[in-house]
Structure 1
Amino acid sequence: MTGRYKAYSEYKEYNSAWFDFLPSHWQSVSLKWTSHLYSGGTPSKDNLSFWENGSIPWLNSGAVNQSLIEKPSAFITRDAFNNSSAKWIPKQSLVMALAGQGKTKGMVAQLAIDSTCNQSMAAIVPSKDISSRFLFWWLTSNYQKIRNMAGGDLRDGLNLELLGSISSPIFDRKEQQKIANFLDHETAKIDTLIAKQEKLIELIQEKRQAVISNAVTKGLNPDVPMKDSGVEWLGEVPEHWDRSRLGFECSVKARLGWKGLKADEYVPEGYIFLATPNIKGSDIDFENVNYITKQRYDESPEIMLQENDLLVTKDGSTTGTTNLVRSLPEPATVNSSIAVIRSRGNIHPEYLYYFFVSTYTQNVIKRMQGGMGVPHLFQADLRWFHILLPSNIEQKSIAKYLDIQTAKCDLIIKKATNAIQLMKERKTALILAAVTGKIDVRDWRPKGIQ
């Protein structure tokens, strides 16, 4: 990182968990001495009038995902403010999530507006000697360390005392602001590049899906005569294709409810027991699995997996997730959330896989589960499912064509994903180098500005 940028001329060592050394003219100080720290409050949700036609901005902990907060989570009334522990936080100040789901805890954002916040957030109002923007970058660079201060249990929250103990550098405010300006500019450039790669991935994924859907519903020859499929949302299909039901062409099996297993029945070694997370990738994950006893494996012979079985999740938010058993390293079975679909010979397994991941099939699955509190696919619904049947030779041709086309798309997606990861790593390293003084950006100017 220091290759493109010069270092400071002199450093001094620190025996600190927050930095090993700093430029010699910088100092280390606890956050509680440089900033006013306080938490907010939530007006009673039982009093609906507190939340109707309010004019006072109010934030919940999820607001920190905005980085720069320009819009509040809600508005509260003056009466709500007076009857709660909510407090005003001036704009330009920082807020940090003390608790929250997923990655929220420890995230920091800057306010573009005056606001209030809930009790799961801390207001960080720097003194006049501290650049809010520099402090934002400092805290951002220490996100994981700050999260770890709460302890190993992910449910544990941060508190004001812990925040106050965070060490941060202090030095001339103008120099702080130069570092902040540098990071604002350089990270914005990186973010733009990341966004372009993310857009590329999105477009390639859409193209990939379109290629699959077109091939399994229209075939590979655009000049063949077409006929009405008889299915409203499918439209026209090649005239020489047949239509059938999945249950006529395949067996559809799943673990019976009374044979469901509990976690305490898993064993260190035994027979592979696949769950939904194991089939979500491009290939089935046979490594990160649970194991069951031979007795439990033997009691459900109808779902003992074979090569070329199609696995489809039938419960929960991932309903419709599909994968194909292309190889079977060891004897395996599935949990009660996965249906096992096995061709009786008329359907090429790879063609059936692509048919199931097509937009047409995934939309039908959504219609089947519509209105349910917890999404679920019944085996009877799957058996009655319409499928298109080209000749076996044509099925193989379609599958081979899609193998080639999807591999091209997947390669582009992989390269873009790797590029994003490298850019994120560069961004993280750049922020840390700047806020700890490993690089000297006092003379930095944006290109074109002298």
Structure 2
Amino acid sequence: MAKYEKYAEYKDSGVEWVGDVPQSWEVKPVLALFTPEMIKNVDGIETNVLSLSYGRIIQRDVENNHGLLPESFNTYQIVKCGDIILRLTDLQNDKRSLRVGLATQKGIITSAYLKLSALKEIDPKFAYRLLHSYDTTKVFYGMGGGLRQSMKFEDFRRLPILVPPKSEQTQIANFLDHETTKIDSLIAKQEKLIELLKEKRQAVISHAVTKGLNPNVTMKDSGVEWLGQVPEHWVVAQLKFNMLDIQTGPFGSQLHAEDYIEDGIPLINPAHMINGVLVPDSQITVDETTQERLSRHKLAVGDIIFARRGELGRCAIVREENVGWLCGTGSLKAKLNDKLLPEYAYLLITSDGLVSELSLESKGSTMDNLNTETLGKVRTPVPPIKEQTAILIYVEQVSGKYKKLIENAESAIQLMQERRTALISSAVTGKIDVRHWQNPNKNNDAKKELGV
């Protein structure tokens, strides 16, 4: 923030988390600046359904919605352009940050959210930026009550709001719109870079595990559409011929909800397979008696455990620390023979080509559903073990290079997000003076309007 000047004079705001503010600024409670009037969509005339998503109010795609929808939107509240929407529940849950949004269109939104309509003294865009800053700097964190740490307007109405002169509010809002747009654009470029790096890494890995490392080797047609040509000396076989055992997890009467305990022996379902690693849930576990009753579902070193439904190709290799855990209802497990290394098989199974093949062959009307027959008949390349080992070493080296590039991009994003948060906080609390800031694009925008 070094390039921005400070105000000439400051005074104590009387607000602990703000400190000093410019001399000309005032501090007023929410109730003096906003009205919380709720107008419900009783007649159902308004059909533009809105949603608060990551600090933005967006249109909700009701037709292709993946979340829960009410039977009727008559209980939703009507919002108009300039209204501020706050989700004031789970206030100590860091994952629920970005609880503040500014409506840029008329529509309806759930009545579970608090709507504030700005009075004349406050610019809605400035108020949004200020409340957004309160959110990201955890001002709301210690507020609220009850099991879900929630607030209603009665709790919120005395929250102190900083009130610069009206023209200054608008200037601050315009400044932040311009500066955060630039930062957001840079973040988007880094996110795109990460996406491209991940795609490139996956392409390099897929080529290695399906074509080998020798570009001069004689190739042959594999007879498998997704696989194409493979080295001539490689075997292509159905996966079941390289498995010693394959079976689904317990279902039906084998396992009941009352069998679950806390911090017991983990059951592994699809949600517990994250980037090839098993990450158990302490709530989805059983005791030793149930483990022994379901002993045929125990996991052993080198087993591969698969998601049976949803995201096909989702799987993980069982390590030493996972021994004795149980294959869950939503999973199936396989033990490979000595012709196929588990790590090599994992790379094959998670490759785009084989995932597409599994999806094509899977059973299930509403979602992809994998069973032992479908998995077993998928044809895969089987190089000699020596080549599988060499491919794994190569993939590790390549992955390391791409991982470093991705980490650098993620670090850049983190720094830009921190700068964005700090810039907003500094501007809305008067720590920097932007009264003389001029939009560098103003002349260009004027020319566009004139058609120049």
| Bin for the TM-score computed over the shorter chain | 0.7 to 0.9
Give the equivalent residue in structure 1 for 2:290: 296
Aligned-partner Cα distance in 1 for 2:196–2:438: 35
Give the equivalent residue in structure 2 for 1:310: 304
CA RMSD in angstroms, aligned pairs only: 3.6
Answering whether residue 411 of structure 2 is matched by residue 418 of structure 1, we say yes
Code of the residue aligned with 1:117 in structure 2: it is I
Give the equivalent residue in structure 2 for 1:265: 260
Answering whether residue 176 of structure 2 is matched by residue 187 of structure 1, we say no
Q: Offset of 1:267 from its aligned partner?
A: 4.6
Instruction: Show CA shifts across 1:400-419 (max 9, x none).
Output: 22122122222222222222
Give the equivalent residue in structure 1 for 2:18: 19
Q: Percent identity?
A: 29
Instruction: Show CA shifts across 1:14-58 (max 9, x none).
Output: 45466344333321112232234333433556xxxx5xxxxx7x5
Instruction: Specify whether residues 203 and 288 from structure 1 end up closer, same or farther in structure 2 by C-alpha distance, changes over 3 A only.
Output: farther
1:167 is aligned, of 140, 151, 160, to: 160
Aligned-partner Cα distance in 1 for 2:380–2:333: 16
Aligned-partner Cα distance in 1 for 2:319–2:390: 18
Answering whether residue 208 of structure 2 is matched by residue 215 of structure 1, we say yes
Answering whether residue 31 of structure 2 is matched by residue 32 of structure 1, we say yes
Answering whether residue 84 of structure 2 is matched by residue 95 of structure 1, we say yes
- Specify the SS of the correspondent of 1:351: helix
CA contact (8 A) 2:79 2:109 kept: no
CA contact (8 A) 2:276 2:315 kept: no
Which structure 1 segments of 5+ residues have no match?
A: 51-55, 75-82
Instruction: Specify whether residues 350 and 168 from structure 1 end up closer, same or farther in structure 2 by C-alpha distance, changes over 3 A only.
Output: same
2:56 is aligned, of 59, 63, 67, to: 67
Answering whether residue 250 of structure 2 is matched by residue 256 of structure 1, we say yes
CA contact (8 A) 1:271 1:330 kept: no
CA contact (8 A) 1:29 1:167 kept: yes
Give the equivalent residue in structure 2 for 1:79: none
- Specify the SS of the correspondent of 2:321: coil
1:247 is aligned, of 230, 240, 261, to: 240
CA contact (8 A) 1:98 1:159 kept: no
Give the equivalent residue in structure 1 for 2:123: 131
Answering whether residue 104 of structure 2 is matched by residue 117 of structure 1, we say no
Aligned-partner Cα distance in 1 for 2:120–2:57: 20
Q: Offset of 1:139 from its aligned partner?
A: 1.8
Aligned-partner Cα distance in 1 for 2:76–2:380: 59
- Specify the SS of the correspondent of 1:22: strand
Aligned-partner Cα distance in 2 for 1:288–1:89: 41
Aligned-partner Cα distance in 2 for 1:295–1:373: 35
Which structure 2 segments of 5+ residues have no match?
A: 63-72, 444-452
Answering whether residue 391 of structure 2 is matched by residue 398 of structure 1, we say yes
Q: Offset of 1:333 from its aligned partner?
A: 3.1
Aligned-partner Cα distance in 2 for 1:68–1:294: 49
- Specify the SS of the correspondent of 2:122: coil
Aligned-partner Cα distance in 2 for 1:214–1:435: 52
- Specify the SS of the correspondent of 2:36: strand
Alignment of 1:359-378 (within 5 A): 359-369=352-362, 371-378=364-371
Number of aligned residue pairs: 424
CA contact (8 A) 2:77 2:110 kept: no
Give the equivalent residue in structure 2 for 1:77: none
Q: What TM-score does the superposition give when structure 1 sets the normalisation length?
A: 0.80
CA contact (8 A) 2:299 2:323 kept: no
Instruction: Show CA shifts across 1:54-110 (max 9, x none).
Output: xx7x543416668376x7979xxxxxxxx979997664x133155899859833124
- Specify the SS of the correspondent of 2:51: helix
Aligned-partner Cα distance in 1 for 2:208–2:385: 14
Give the equivalent residue in structure 2 for 1:438: 431
Code of the residue aligned with 1:184 in structure 2: it is D
CA contact (8 A) 1:304 1:333 kept: yes
Q: What TM-score does the superposition give when structure 2 sets the normalisation length?
A: 0.80
CA contact (8 A) 2:12 2:19 kept: yes
